[in-house]
A and B are shown apart, each in its own frame.
Chain A
Amino acid sequence: MTTSTRHIISLLMENESGALSRVAGLFSARGYNIESLTVAPTEDPTLSRMTIVTSGSDEVIEQIIKQLNKLIDVVKVLDLNDGKFIERELMLVKVKATGTFREEMKRMCDIFRGRIIDVADGSFTIELTGSGTKLDAFIESLDKSAILETVRTGASGIGRGDRILKV
């Protein structure tokens, strides 16, 4: 058995009710990991695009791809890790912004190229995009007691250059 690695799997599926639960059900029924899962309709409203972040040995990833392909609603599957790709995730963080925290937060936000999108008396809301590791790093670098709330979208991914996932 090879060691477990993180994979980003992109797929196009029929934009039909129940399609999402088929994918989610497959992962739970077969005991595959899901780190994150995002889904939204594409420019063609009959199709949805899903990005799943999972991890497993090469054998497990191969099975995941095959099992996804087997679902009748799934039109196309691509393991982004098979080539070059870009990964982005959006995070909104509400932080304490009182006293010295106010300057500190602005500075941290700048360093990570985030944006403050809401300002209130005692708090800022910061918007940050990037890879999962970058978002993790941002959280790490904040004083835990300053974090009031976080929300992350989960990763979206796309192949580089002419690696295109389309019907």
Chain B
Amino acid sequence: MKFAMEPGMANSSKQLTGAEILIRCLHEENVEFVFGYPGGAVLHIYDAIFHQDKFKHILVRHEQAALHAADAYSRSTGKVGVALVTSGPGATNAVTGIATAYMDSIPMVIISGQVPTYAIGEDAFQECDTVGITRPCVKHNFLVKDVKDIASTMKKAFYVAASGRPGPVLVDIPKDITAHLCDFDYPETVHLRSYNPVTKGHLGQIKKALKLLTEAKRPMVYSGGGVILGDASEHLNKLIQSLGLPITSTLMGLGCFPASDPKFLGMLGMHGTYEANMAMQDCDVLLAVGARFDDRVIGNTAHFLSNPRTIIHIDIDPSSISKRVKIDVPIVGDVKSVLADMNELIATENLKQNKVELASWFKQIDAWRTKKCMNYAQSSELIKPQYVIQKLHEVTKGEAFVTSDVGQHQMWAAQYYKFEQPRRWINSGGLGTMGVGLPYAMGVQLAFPDAQVACVTGEGSIQMNIQELSTCAQYQLPIKVIMLNNRYLGMVRQWQEFFYENRYSESYMDSLPDFVKLAEAYGHVGMQITKPGDVEGALKEAFAMKSRFVFLDFITDQKENVFPMIQNGKGLSEMILAEDL
């Protein structure tokens, strides 16, 4: 019996198998890494991978991690992340990763194997309706039914994933298709009559926005993840510098504007700074750039709207505009292009803010800053989690890539690691997926082999993808895990303390493993740090081991809470501060 998969046969006929075509598509797209896990439905594809060396395949230990790693590769580089999983359980394991990327608009192409076309619908072994299951959490998905469609579908998939408001695109390929033969012809361009993302913003609206901004008494800029996704940091910076405006960032936007700049008020929202939230509430003209007025950002909408202000909103996705808050001046367009147009108009028309008004607004902001909402009580006995992050910032000179999991540690990382550049802060904002931290660090470290990569995590989150310690060993990834071990699902415990009278229902993390031994069992270096005095030394020691994966288990103060905090249903100016308690 002859199989089409035999390379010799494919070459002699000059036709390629579907699997080979798929690989060639990935080559055409200059894919560097494919994160994946093999299985029956993708065996032809894996055989074709065996015969190539243009991209590197990274074998994870669970498909969820493949998705997260590809997602972080994309978040840190701006390129499209690629993951490959088998049918059935491979695809269902990938769903959390896909949904995580979708919520944060991360461009990815996911290839999933499917049972052969003739078996679809028969409850075949490892069959599931992958296109159906993933439909609500992808930007788009395709089921390829003919080998002739593989190349054009892949071209579309990469185009749709990366253009407009980016997002994950899934391509489901039945096994028989990957064995069928066909000529390979990768389309140069792609046109979809139903999909034409806008780029340029409306000039009239842009002029109107600039007039409102420059005439404002209390202007404020609210920047989000869209600035990073749209690679518009430089343009935003230019705008802020030329007009001298105060600016805040969402959790997803951190790093799009340098945290050390005095015009930066810190993060806003549920755990944002006092000054950012107060300014957001009190401003008279608000410029929102690539942000979406998320419930964790503006708190109670009615309370937010109770203080009238004019809102300008730049976003590539029209459906983000006026979704939760009515917008006065919508500007639909690519953030970078719109900001470039704004900067040009500011230069040519010599637009300026009123110096006196702006100075008195900053005086008010400085008054809010005197609250020093980020202060915390130091302790000589217990390690304060905030202190660990501050030391991490110092030891890495603020230049590390920081990935995080989800929980209190995530908020402390966001608050105390001052990001100066975009694409350095990698976390799951929209879906809030525990377990992303370690696979995120893998994706980043592979993309930037010489960079310092820190994974800030909790003892709860890390256990959700702990198996990836093995992947890190296989590919010798010198990640530094900074685990803030409070023996609690801390964020859950904090809510229980505040809203459920200290009834800590199922939030204590019992039976924790010996993380040092666990790290060592995987061939890594493990360290446990219990005293505040040892924090800095341990971090220095860990980062000095440039080629080693180091797992640092910081035993932190169990009772520490994240402040400021806006309770559910409360408004931006109704924060609870540490000093209030």
Residues of chain A having any CB pair with chain B under 8 Å: 13-14, 17-18, 21-22, 25, 29, 59, 62-63, 66-67, 69-70, 72-75, 167
**Shortest CB–CB separation between residue B391 and chain A, in angstroms?**
44
Residues of chain B having any CB pair with chain A under 8 Å: 131-132, 135-136, 139-140, 143, 160, 192-195, 317-319, 322-323, 326
Known: A59-B322, A73-B140. 12 other contacts (CB 8 A): A13-B194, A29-B136, A59-B326, A66-B318, A67-B319, A69-B318, A69-B319, A70-B317, A70-B319, A72-B195, A74-B194, A167-B193
Do residues B322 and A72 form an inter-chain contact, with CB atoms below 8 A? no
Those 9 A-B pairs whose CB atoms lie nearest each other, nearest first? A66-B319, A75-B194, A72-B140, A66-B318, A72-B195, A29-B136, A67-B319, A70-B319, A25-B135
Can you report 7 A-B residue pairs in the complex whose CB atoms are below 8 A from each other?
Answer: A17-B143, A59-B322, A66-B318, A66-B319, A69-B318, A75-B194, A167-B193
**Shortest CB–CB separation between residue B413 and chain A, in angstroms?**
31
Take A18-B143, A29-B136 as given contacts and tell me if A75 and B193 are in contact as well, using a CB distance cutoff of 8 Å: yes
Do residues B135 and A72 form an inter-chain contact, with CB atoms below 8 A? no
Take A13-B194, A63-B323 as given contacts and tell me if A72 and B160 are in contact as well, using a CB distance cutoff of 8 Å: yes
Contact of B322 among A18, A21, A62, A70 (CB under 8 A): A62
**Shortest CB–CB separation between residue A76 and chain B, in angstroms?**
8
Contact of A25 among B136, B143, B318 (CB under 8 A): B136
Contacts of B194 in A (CB 8 A): 13-14, 72-75
**Shortest CB–CB separation between residue B143 and chain A, in angstroms?**
7
**Shortest CB–CB separation between residue B415 and chain A, in angstroms?**
33
Bound-state CA distance A90–B135 (Å) is: 32
Bound-state CA distance A160–B435 (Å) is: 55
**Which of A25, A63, A167: most chain B Cβ within 10 A?**
A63
Contacts of A25 in B (CB 8 A): 135-136
**Which residue from chain A places its CB closest to the CB of B131 in the assembled complex?**
A18
**Shortest CB–CB separation between residue A150 and chain B, in angstroms?**
32
**Shortest CB–CB separation between residue A29 and chain B, in angstroms?**
5
Do residues A21 and B132 form an inter-chain contact, with CB atoms below 8 A? yes
**Shortest CB–CB separation between residue A82 and chain B, in angstroms?**
16
Bound-state CA distance A22–B140 (Å) is: 9
Bound-state CA distance A70–B139 (Å) is: 9
Contacts of B143 in A (CB 8 A): 17-18
Bound-state CA distance A16–B103 (Å) is: 26
**Shortest CB–CB separation between residue B68 and chain A, in angstroms?**
23
Contacts of A73 in B (CB 8 A): 140, 194
**Which residue from chain A places its CB closest to the CB of B145 in the assembled complex?**
A17
**Shortest CB–CB separation between residue B120 and chain A, in angstroms?**
11
Bound-state CA distance A157–B322 (Å) is: 28
**Shortest CB–CB separation between residue A144 and chain B, in angstroms?**
40
Bound-state CA distance A67–B321 (Å) is: 11
**Which residue from chain A places its CB closest to the CB of B140 in the assembled complex?**
A72
Do residues B319 and A63 form an inter-chain contact, with CB atoms below 8 A? yes
**Which of B143, B192, B194, B319: most chain A Cβ within 10 A?**
B194
Bound-state CA distance A29–B135 (Å) is: 11
Contacts of B160 in A (CB 8 A): 72
Contacts of A62 in B (CB 8 A): 322
Bound-state CA distance A138–B317 (Å) is: 44
Bound-state CA distance A66–B323 (Å) is: 10
**Shortest CB–CB separation between residue A25 and chain B, in angstroms?**
6
Contacts of A22 in B (CB 8 A): 135
Contacts of B193 in A (CB 8 A): 75, 167
**Shortest CB–CB separation between residue A11 and chain B, in angstroms?**
10
Contacts of B319 in A (CB 8 A): 63, 66-67, 69-70
Take A13-B194, A66-B318 as given contacts and tell me if A21 and B323 are in contact as well, using a CB distance cutoff of 8 Å: no
Contacts of B135 in A (CB 8 A): 18, 21-22, 25
Bound-state CA distance A167–B132 (Å) is: 28
**Which residue from chain B places its CB closest to the CB of A70 in the assembled complex?**
B319
Bound-state CA distance A60–B41 (Å) is: 42
Bound-state CA distance A167–B160 (Å) is: 21
**Which residue from chain B places its CB closest to the CB of A62 in the assembled complex?**
B322
Bound-state CA distance A67–B165 (Å) is: 13
Contact of B192 among A18, A67, A72 (CB under 8 A): A72
Bound-state CA distance A29–B491 (Å) is: 28
**Shortest CB–CB separation between residue A65 and chain B, in angstroms?**
9
Bound-state CA distance A50–B140 (Å) is: 20
**Which residue from chain A places its CB closest to the CB of B160 in the assembled complex?**
A72
**Shortest CB–CB separation between residue B323 and chain A, in angstroms?**
6
Bound-state CA distance A103–B159 (Å) is: 65
Bound-state CA distance A73–B492 (Å) is: 41
Take A14-B194, A62-B322, A66-B318 as given contacts and tell me if A72 and B139 are in contact as well, using a CB distance cutoff of 8 Å: yes
Bound-state CA distance A75–B323 (Å) is: 22
**Shortest CB–CB separation between residue A3 and chain B, in angstroms?**
16
**Shortest CB–CB separation between residue A5 and chain B, in angstroms?**
18
Bound-state CA distance A22–B323 (Å) is: 20
Bound-state CA distance A69–B326 (Å) is: 19
Bound-state CA distance A45–B193 (Å) is: 15
Bound-state CA distance A69–B136 (Å) is: 15
